[in-house]
Amino acid sequence: MKKKILITTAIDYVNDVIHIGHAYQKILADCVSRFERERRGKENVFFVTGTDEHGQKVFHVAKEKGVDTKTFVDEISKKDQEQQDSLQISYDRFIRTTDEDHKKVASEFFKKVYDAGYIYKGTYKGLYCEGCEAYKTGKDLIDGKCPLHQNNEIQIVEDENYFFKFSSFKDFLKELFEKNTDFVLPNQRYKEMYAFIDTIEDIPVTRRKEKLPWGIECPVDENHVLWVWFDALVNYLTFGLQVGSWDSDTEIVHFIGKDIARMHALLWPCMLKSAGYELSSHIYDHGFLSLNGKKISKSLGNVVAPKDLVEKYGVDPVRYYFLRYGPIVEDSDFSEDNFKTVYNADLANGLGNTVARLEKLAEKSGISFAFETEDSNVLSTELSQYFDVYRVDIALQYIWSKISDLDKKINEEEPWGIKDNEKLKEVLQFEIEDLILIAKLCKPFMPDTSEKILNIFKQKKITSIGGLFPRI
């Protein structure tokens, strides 16, 4: 295991405020970051999220609304950050691609690639999907449209651009994938990405300012700006350099959705290689979330804001639901009805009920206890095998199996019927120790709940607080 870890989420495009589809990934990356702070020490974990603010779509949306582009992106970025904060995402930096230090790093990055001979001037004639902010070939389309943006017309563009020699990296990519079979996770996505290597072509990495003035100025030609992806991907490096951890001592892990897998799994390593930087270690590529069986889409009116859910149900139930049932591998669907069912079964009747039973028994007994509630080394020993492959869902299944084991134990031992105080103390002692272990294991998933439970059993004479998860 490397000493340090740098964890990133995708940065969200600011044409609109994020919804629960985006929130899933932030909670996932946050949970992994919290676990890693326990395992590697706080000083060795670096976690970045933020907003992607350049590109054609943002420019057009701001124009349609009659707002100055910078004012527009400032507003959306602020709202995105509020959404993330409502979920207690413990990022070290909320980066914006309009931040001055990022603009400088992105510009220098381009210059390095240019100086190394991997960028040349040419004319591009082809297709562009504004929804993806990406160049397309006929093979990418279904019925002449981008499969991810069925409502948008595909654009035919012809212009002078600077091209990145992407196609010269095919052998490099094959070797990278063959030597690192966990470079892209989960494995099915690795296979998909590997299969794309042969289709790679050189791509334009600038736009002419005359057509798109909103972007980072190209350092070798003032009439051009950087293509938004060539700028956005570099945000990870901007942060890595800022915290002095884009190096061989650092495991670099990107959490992304499968729609942008090719940019991260294929383009980004070639960009890093051409500029002479260390490559990322893993790209974790999760599935899509749908809402009530339909695609999450503002134009369809099918959107839920994470902050609204949190205000209604509390932050930890929302985090729990997504970490356990979210699209970690396969796509998954969210509905409020299903959320309530899970809440009642797993939290109200599950963890909440177990805590209530033991706190009441302990209170009624009047016995003095002295539990160890601080040391959380137990996280590494119990959960490393799940976090090594980012399977937070399986980790939660494991914790919940411990809860049901403990419930069984309480039912069998029937502490409420024990008259002998010595015997009762012994029985409760073991049961509460099990619960304390469970509470510690919950820390990366539900930090507040974990703390609340540990605070109850930190007391010598336990007073129950009750109602951790009231039924809904």
* Least distance CB 261 / Zn ion (angstroms): 14
**Nearer Cβ to Zn ion, position 147 or 467?**
147
* Least distance CB 214 / Zn ion (angstroms): 19
Residues annotated as catalytic are 19, 22, 129, 132, 146, 149, 295, 298
**Nearer Cβ to Zn ion, position 33 or 290?**
290
* Least distance CB 262 / Zn ion (angstroms): 12
Tell me which residue of 226, 285, 289, 278 sits closest to 252, measured CA to CA. 278
432 alpha carbon, distance to own chain's centre: 33
Residue 17 to residues 14, 66, 390, 420, Cα–Cα distance (Å): 7, 18, 27, 60
* Least distance CB 144 / Zn ion (angstroms): 12
SS3 for the chain is CCCEEEEEECCEECCCCCCHHHHHHHHHHHHHHHHHHHHHCHHHEEEEEEEECCCHHHHHHHHHHCCCHHHHHHHHHHHHHHHHHHCCCCCCEEEECCCHHHHHHHHHHHHHHHHCCCEEEEEEEEEEECCCCEEECHHHCECCECCCCCCCCCEEEEEEEEEECHHHHHHHHHHHHHHCCCCEECHHHHHHHHHHHHHCCCEECEEECCCCCCCCECCCCCCEEECHHHHHCCHHHHHHHHCCCCCCCEEEEEEEEHHHHHHHHHHHHHHHHHHCCCCCCEEEEECCEEECCECCECCCCECCCHHHHHHHHCHHHHHHHHHHHCCCCCCEEECHHHHHHHHHHHHHHHHHHHHHHHHHHHHHHCCECCCCCCCCCHHHHHHHHHHCCCCHHHHHHHHHHHHHHHHHHHHHHCHHHCCCHHHHHHHHHHHHHHHHHHHHHCCCCCHHHHHHHHHHHHCCECCCCCCCCCCC
**Nearer Cβ to Zn ion, position 131 or 317?**
131
CB 134 within 8 A of CB 99: no
Interface positions with Zn ion (CB under 5 A): 129, 131-132, 146, 148-149
**Nearer Cβ to Zn ion, position 54 or 103?**
54
* Least distance CB 146 / Zn ion (angstroms): 3
* Least distance CB 213 / Zn ion (angstroms): 23
**Nearer Cβ to Zn ion, position 132 or 304?**
132
* Least distance CB 122 / Zn ion (angstroms): 23
* Least distance CB 140 / Zn ion (angstroms): 8
**Nearer Cβ to Zn ion, position 67 or 148?**
148
**Nearer Cβ to Zn ion, position 168 or 297?**
297
**Nearer Cβ to Zn ion, position 57 or 96?**
57
